Amino acid sequence: MEIQAPKGTKDMLPQDAYKWHYVEETLRKVSKAFGVREIRTPIFEHTELFLRGVGETTDIVQKEMYTFNDKGDRSITLKPEGTAPTVRAFIENRLFNEAQPTKLYYMIPCFRYENVQKGRLRQFHQYGIEVFGSKEPSMDAEVISLAMEALKRLGLKSLSLNINNLGCPKCRPKYNEALKKYLQDNYDNLCGICKTRFEKNPMRILDCKEKSCKEITKSAPIILDYICEECDTHFTEVKRYLDALDIKYTIDPGIVRGLDYYTKTIFEILNDDFTVCGGGRYDKLIEEIGGPEMPAVGFGMGLERLIMTLEKEEIEIPREDTIELYIGARGEDAKTAAFVLANKLRAKDVKAEVNHMGRSIKAEMKYANKIGAVFTTILGDDELQNNVLKLKRMSDGEQFEVNLNNIDEIESVLNS
């Protein structure tokens, strides 16, 4: 029986690799422009990290994590998101002792056991930014502007930014009490999971996707009516900085995001009502995971969803260079010479290919055309004896004669 990839996973095939390379390289360039450095964390972590970091009342922890016991009977989880592992690395490696802020980015595989649908996989890839050490509203705006710049550079034009403020530990209890009072009359109609959230984290009910819960919460109290003066001032300043950058936004009190660690600013970026990025501030997470008291802000975006959005918008992604030179050969001596020449050119980063399939000369030229070779050449006894290489440009048939042993001359023609 044929073995297939597990449900919710997807192969990246060679013909699609250029899309990933383009997106990843664009994101790296934008990250560097903002002074953000790369971090790489293990693919799995101790389960406790996500229980403490992501939150026990979230869908991720309650329904979606890939958790197992290893041979030492330790509970291990494939990471479902990138923030908690990055915070753990920040604390463990004592990066908080360095000059702040610390700006980090990552591109990682993540794992969530959820219903498979378009744009949602059980193994997916995430680009994320995490900035530690700054409590200033300007940093919230900078992180948002980084995300907007990255998406614009990729060619997305129909972008909209929604923002909200979730308050802080000082003002959120007051809101939670008001929310619980509102939900009390409809408690029996809440889904089973939301009933468990009612006491521990009632705000999480606002993020439930169950139809009955969405109907109940559509008229729920708004968090912005309950935030303290500090949170209100912070939110006002974030908006002022966004205005200064001419970044348009909509205040959406319905945004709560799907993770427990957010405080104050949260945001989502949509492209034609399709969410492509989400994030916010999480000033207490570093302390909760065992580090010093230190503010933080960041975001994440799924790369599969991002590429799917680019394709949906029919944004042309530049294809990578094809084979620059295909070297055919007649006879064993010529075949050896072609093999050596190709490797000399590859050492100079020239994309060269030779015949490894025993094809005839006619078949070789068909193959060269199929793989999109820019130039072709055929080596034979005459070429070897005269130390000559005849390069043919496939686009117009023009031929160039060069010294077979002069790699620089060959490279110059290929670059012409």
Locus of tokens 């020239």: 350
Distance CA 291, CA 282 (A): 13
Amino acid at 229: E
User: Using one digit for the tens of pLDDT, what is the confidence trace for 214-257?
Assistant: 889 888 999 999 999 999 999 999 999 999 999 999 999 888 76
Distance CA 286, CA 137 (A): 18
| Position 321 confidence tier, pLDDT thresholds 50, 70, 90 | confident
Boundaries of CATH 3.30.930.10 in the chain?
14-160+247-312
Boundaries of CATH 3.40.50.800 in the chain?
325-414
Distance CA 347, CA 290 (A): 49
Residues at the binding site for L-histidine are: 81-83, 112, 126, 130, 257, 261-262
Distance CA 39, CA 89 (A): 9
Q: Are 326 and 356 in contact (CB under 8 A)?
A: no
Q: Residue 413's pLDDT is what?
A: 96
The residue among 74, 49, 103 whose CA lies nearest residue 289 is: 49
CATH of domain 14-160+247-312: 3.30.930.10
* Domain 325-414 architecture: 3-Layer(aba) Sandwich (3.40)
User: Using one digit for the tens of pLDDT, what is the confidence trace for 10-58?
Assistant: 999 999 999 999 999 999 999 999 999 999 999 999 999 998 878 766 6
Prior bond to 101 cis, omega within 30? Answer: yes
Q: Are 303 and 126 in contact (CB under 8 A)?
A: yes
- pLDDT value at 332 more than 70: yes
Q: Residue 405's pLDDT is what?
A: 93
**What are the Cα distances from residue 349, in Å, to 18, 367, 415?**
18, 22, 12
pLDDT, average across residues 133-159: 97
Residues at the binding site are: 81-83, 112, 126, 130, 257, 261-262
CB atoms within 10 A of CB 163: 22
306-310, 321-325, 386-390: range with lowest mean pLDDT: 321-325
